[in-house]
Amino acid sequence: MSKKPEGRIAPYAHPSGGWGALKQVVVNLVHEKVAGGNYKTLLKQNQPDGFDCPGCAWPDREHASTFEFCENGVKAVAAEATSKRVRPAFFAAHTVTSLLTQSDYELEQHGRLTDPMVYDAASDRYQPITWDDAFALIARHLKALPDPDQAAFYTSGRTGNEAAFLFQLFARMVGTNNFPDCSNMCHEPTSRGLPGTVGIGKGTVTLDDFEHTDTLLIFGQNPATNHPRMMNELRDCARRGATIVSINPLRERGLERFTSPAHALEMLTGATTTIGTMFVQPKLAGDFALIKAVAKRLVERDDEALASGQPSVLDREFIARHTSGFEAFEADLRAESWDVLLEESGVPKLQIDQLTGIFIRGRNVISTWGMGLTQHKNALKTIQMLSNLMMMRGQIGRQGAGLCPVRGHSNVQGDRTMGIEEKPTKAFLDRLQRVFDFEPPRAHGLDTVDSIQAMLDGRVKVFFAMGGNFAMATPDTPLTFRALQNCDLTVHVATKLNRSHLIMGKQALILPTLGRTEIDLQNGVPQGVTVEDSMSMVHLSYGINQPASANLLSETMIVARLAHATLGSDKVDWLGLGANYAEIRELIEKVFDDFHDFNARVARPGGFHLRVAAREREWRTPSGRAQFVPHAVDRDTPIHRARARHGERLMVLMTARSHDQYNTTIYGLDDRYRGVFGLRRVVFINQDDLALLGLKDGEYVDLISVWEDDVTRRADRFRLVQYDIPRGCLGAYFPETNGLVPLHSTADGAGTPTSKSIPVLLERSAEE
Ligand SMILES: Nc1nc2c(c(=O)[nH]1)N[C@H]1C(S)=C(S)[C@@H](COP(=O)(O)OP(=O)(O)OC[C@H]3O[C@@H](n4cnc5c(=O)[nH]c(N)nc54)[C@H](O)[C@@H]3O)O[C@H]1N2
Ligand SMILES: Nc1nc2c(c(=O)[nH]1)N[C@H]1C(S)=C(S)[C@@H](COP(=O)(O)OP(=O)(O)OC[C@H]3O[C@@H](n4cnc5c(=O)[nH]c(N)nc54)[C@H](O)[C@@H]3O)O[C@H]1N2
Ligand SMILES: [Mo]
């Protein structure tokens, strides 16, 4: 054996939430030395007069009147409210080369960025630059490009609507639709898949529906960690007797039992609520075959019912009145082979029968999903198949039922609504043209993966990131690093230092910005920004903390001043807009009809709901009906081919979040509910696979990805953790494993990196 393993593996035996979560809150506040001991911040989270939690996109009840406790929301807020600072003196003391030796965890721990900085190659250090000079530098680069499509404008989903709207307008006036964004790596298959079935790429439910549902199907989601406020809804549903099924290769402990930290009595008495009624564990990416199997079983059950004189188990009235394509879809289901469905889903027939029974008994069914469905090659068709299944029983567009994609970043949905979209519709561009009197670029732009390839090829020269951590969030890490280094200029608008700032183009800027929790004063007047949550509620958010530094600009003002420096203000009064966000909202209202009376409606506590036509059974598809879309099971994917070559030793790896991280931001080294403490380089594996590979729990392995090119992709020294996970499947954390995801391994029709379907081989690590 090599040296004593670091960290500790100890299965979690408690409910999720509860005192464990509360203890973590205190730990975080102390650790971050929250500015001025200002813990009141936390009480203003998701309050009508406070800020929208930058943690996740789960909605709030009327922007709750009671404090909705959320451990991971607290971590996100505390991280922003930290009293630690990265000042110019810090950069003077550290070369970029020396900073690169620090871990991602260490980089973020230095605290908030305070001043705009420019990279100086001669000293290998970042040096202070004035805001004016920084904008002039970017403007010079943009104006010198022979083709505006040589610039790409990235957005991470924390950016508020006002900044996002100005950002897309600015980039389009520069002349490009190159808008890579975090949603390309996230819910893109949802946004591209649902329009083909229900006519809109958004969820059809609101929080009210959770009060009326009796059956919840949760696909590929870990809410106890990633959407903790969703747990309170699940608790209430469970207490009402709803059936809750988790469909996930991992039996996530957080979904088993829950103690609500929002309920004092529950905390005192230690009362727990059993959440999950049933756990179905498909193999990775097996959801498509599983959902199709349930749909096929539904048709069989319908045949049986009709043959015995019982009523149909399908909602035939809904199908006749509201849908099109059912006959072809049904014929495809009948023709599908059970053997194929069972093999590809990895779920036993008996469980498929049980799940079908639950679905039929459900009067009001909500299906939710997260990254477990979206980060696979077959993601788009999996989501369309789920939509088909729900349509078979009319479970869309009525109270207590519907489709519920659960988004990640707190305004990722709003950013897309505002036009952060590399494939804009003609109608939207026509409207921009009319309102702003310019000729917008018509050719579709680059998404995240295509932008990386374009940087590698020298087709993109200027990369501007509004937030995020592009270098670490994207796939194929060494290749992505080279892509960024191939640029003439890289610019990052950020709150905290991260590795993307250190992987630079020939010239590089870091522009520090206000966080959402901070007071945003323009001409002495506090400005609010608007955000849209995962259920299409739009509301205002006002920061309440003093800014981390006097030299920060808001994201909105950064775009306004950059646009002014680049384009001048003949067509748009950029600086005027940057100084008064209500005026930006007036322009938003002119471009999007759904935002009529924007300022008035958003001023009401809780904001307003953006109409989702499918919710009212209005189908904005070419046929004017909800569309059944048949799909075949693909049995010739890169994974099938790799398995044909390597046999049973070929494993498929998912990369997911631990409890102590926010995407690329690592808060700590524990993953409490999965029983991992003090280490992140672990790989979960089934005990039979350990035996097959001749490996033991606790041993160290290297992961080598298997792809159809000649690039070697590997990640070394991961501790094996025997786990309840289907055979042939592995689990590990991102971003340590991103280098294993081949750049061009993406979801069909959506371009999302297949971060949860990576074919790999394991090798025992060399002794250290
Ligand atoms: N605290 C915290 N909150 C967050 C984030 C964070 O990092 N930290 N990130 C935010 C963002 S941007 C997002 S997108 C969301 C992400 O929230 P989630 O969607 O919950 O994200 P993941 O942790 O990536 O993976 C979710 C689940 O998918 C399961 N899974 C993996 N592969 C499959 C599969 O093939 N089929 C099925 N059925 N399940 C599978 C995993 O076991 C895991 O339970 O959370 C948001 N909220
Ligand atoms: N292998 C693998 N890769 C993945 C995923 C996966 O599951 N597996 N998930 C993918 C998903 S779902 C997503 S959404 C992406 C996330 O990709 P990104 O959105 O690019 O990454 P984050 O880690 O959320 O970005 C963190 C950084 O944002 C900056 N920041 C924080 N708050 C603000 C703010 O208010 N304004 C500005 N300007 N900057 C701010 C900070 O500097 C911080 O370092 O990663 C994707 N990558
Ligand atoms: Mo995400």
Greater model confidence, 262 or 228? 228
Question: Please, is 646 exposed, middle or buried when counting C-beta atoms within 10 Å of its C-beta (0-12, 13-18, 19+)?
Answer: middle
Structure tokens at 342: 């069972």
Statement to judge: residues 489 and 420 lie in one domain: yes
16 pLDDT tier (thresholds 50, 70, 90): confident
pLDDT at 23 over 80: no
Least confident window among 17-21, 389-393, 625-629: 17-21
Statement to judge: residues 553 and 495 lie in one domain: yes
Q: Distance (Å, rounded) from C-alpha 428 to C-alpha 678?
A: 49
Closest-lying ligand to the alpha carbon of 737? 2
Greater model confidence, 442 or 259? 442
- Structural domain contains residue 632: no
First to last CA, the chain: 10
Q: Whose CA is nearest to atom 18 of ligand 2?
A: 468
Closest-lying ligand to the alpha carbon of 222? 1
Average pLDDT on 311-321 reads 98
* HEC sequence for 265-298: HHHHHCCCEECCCEEECCCCCCHHHHHHHHHHHH
Q: What is the pLDDT of residue 12?
A: 83
Q: What is the pLDDT of residue 41?
A: 60
Greater model confidence, 514 or 768? 514
DSSP H helical ranges for 308-325? 316-322
* Torsions phi, psi for 25 (to 5 deg): -60, -45
pTM of the model: 0.95
- Structural domain contains residue 618: no
**Binding pocket residue ranges, ligand 1, CB within 6 Å:** 55-56, 72, 186, 219-222, 225-227, 247-250, 252, 282, 284-285, 287, 370-372, 408-409, 654, 656-657, 661-663, 756
Statement to judge: residues 367 and 282 lie in one domain: yes
Q: Separation of 156 CA from ligand 3 center, angstroms? A: 9
- Structural domain contains residue 630: no
The response to whether residue 666 sits with its C-beta less than 6 Å from ligand 2 reads no
Average pLDDT on 701-730 reads 97
Q: Distance (Å, rounded) from C-alpha 324 to C-alpha 626?
A: 6
Question: Nearest 5°: CA angle at 221, between 106 and 691?
Answer: 80
600 pLDDT tier (thresholds 50, 70, 90): very high
Statement to judge: residues 143 and 251 lie in one domain: no
The response to whether residue 51 sits with its C-beta less than 6 Å from ligand 2 reads no
pLDDT at 46 over 80: no
Measured CA to CA in angstroms, residue 223 lies from 255, 420, 441 at distances of: 8, 27, 40
Average pLDDT on 235-241 reads 93
* 416-445: pLDDT as tens digits: 999 999 999 999 999 999 999 999 999 999
* 482-497: pLDDT as tens digits: 999 999 999 999 999 9
Mean pLDDT of the chain: 93
The response to whether residue 470 sits with its C-beta less than 6 Å from ligand 2 reads yes
Q: Separation of 186 CA from ligand 3 center, angstroms? A: 4
530 pLDDT tier (thresholds 50, 70, 90): very high
In percent, the amount of the chain with pLDDT more than 70 equals 94
Q: Distance (Å, rounded) from C-alpha 736 to C-alpha 715?
A: 8
In percent, the amount of the chain with pLDDT more than 90 equals 84
The response to whether residue 497 sits with its C-beta less than 6 Å from ligand 2 reads no
Closest ligand 2 atom, CA of 469? 20
Statement to judge: residues 675 and 725 lie in one domain: yes
The response to whether residue 752 sits with its C-beta less than 6 Å from ligand 2 reads no
Q: Whose CA is nearest to atom 36 of ligand 1?
A: 372
Average pLDDT on 733-754 reads 98
Among the three residues 408, 442, 459, which one is the final residue of a domain in this structure? Answer: 408
Query: Which CATH number goes with the domain that contains 306?
Result: 3.40.228.10
Q: Separation of 301 CA from ligand 2 center, angstroms? A: 45
Pocket test for ligand 1, best of 70, 292, 344, 371 (most atoms within 8 A of CB): 371
Q: Are 460 and 422 in contact (CB under 8 A)?
A: no
Q: Whose CA is nearest to atom 21 of ligand 2?
A: 468
Q: Separation of 487 CA from ligand 1 center, angstroms? A: 32
- Structural domain contains residue 566: yes
Give the chain's domain count: 4
The response to whether residue 602 sits with its C-beta less than 6 Å from ligand 2 reads no
Q: Separation of 92 CA from ligand 3 center, angstroms? A: 34
Average pLDDT on 700-727 reads 96
* 337-381: pLDDT as tens digits: 999 999 999 999 999 999 999 999 999 999 999 999 999 999 999
Q: What is the pLDDT of residue 38?
A: 55
* List of residues 6+ apart from 524 with CB closer than 8 A: none
* 534-562: pLDDT as tens digits: 999 999 999 988 999 999 999 999 999 99
Q: What is the pLDDT of residue 716?
A: 97
Q: Which domain holds residue 650?
A: 638-764
Statement to judge: residues 537 and 592 lie in one domain: yes
Query: Which CATH number goes with the domain that contains 741?
Result: 2.40.40.20
Greater model confidence, 72 or 229? 229
- Structural domain contains residue 300: yes
Q: What is the pLDDT of residue 78?
A: 84
* 548-599: pLDDT as tens digits: 999 999 999 999 999 999 999 999 999 999 999 999 999 999 999 999 999 9
Q: Separation of 158 CA from ligand 2 center, angstroms? A: 9
Measured CA to CA in angstroms, residue 610 lies from 403, 531, 542, 605 at distances of: 16, 12, 20, 15
- Structural domain contains residue 619: no
- Structural domain contains residue 611: no
Q: How many helices (H) and strands (E) does the chain have?
A: 31, 33
Q: Separation of 130 CA from ligand 2 center, angstroms? A: 27
Closest ligand 1 atom, CA of 407? 14
- Structural domain contains residue 627: no
Statement to judge: residues 68 and 176 lie in one domain: no
Statement to judge: residues 655 and 579 lie in one domain: no
Q: Distance (Å, rounded) from C-alpha 602 to C-alpha 605?
A: 8
Closest-lying ligand to the alpha carbon of 729? 1
Q: What is the pLDDT of residue 72?
A: 78
Among the three residues 379, 408, 437, which one is the final residue of a domain in this structure? Answer: 408
Statement to judge: residues 471 and 601 lie in one domain: yes
Q: Are 652 and 729 in contact (CB under 8 A)?
A: yes
Q: What is the pLDDT of residue 67?
A: 43
The response to whether residue 360 sits with its C-beta less than 6 Å from ligand 2 reads no
Statement to judge: residues 61 and 113 lie in one domain: no
Q: Whose CA is nearest to atom 46 of ligand 2?
A: 473
Q: What is the pLDDT of residue 605?
A: 85
Statement to judge: residues 554 and 594 lie in one domain: yes
Statement to judge: residues 441 and 348 lie in one domain: no
Query: Which CATH number goes with the domain that contains 554?
Result: 3.40.50.740
Q: Whose CA is nearest to atom 40 of ligand 1?
A: 372
Q: Whose CA is nearest to atom 13 of ligand 1?
A: 408
Among the three residues 49, 81, 113, which one is the final residue of a domain in this structure? Answer: 81
Q: Separation of 471 CA from ligand 3 center, angstroms? A: 15
* Torsions phi, psi for 138 (to 5 deg): -65, -45
Q: Separation of 477 CA from ligand 1 center, angstroms? A: 20
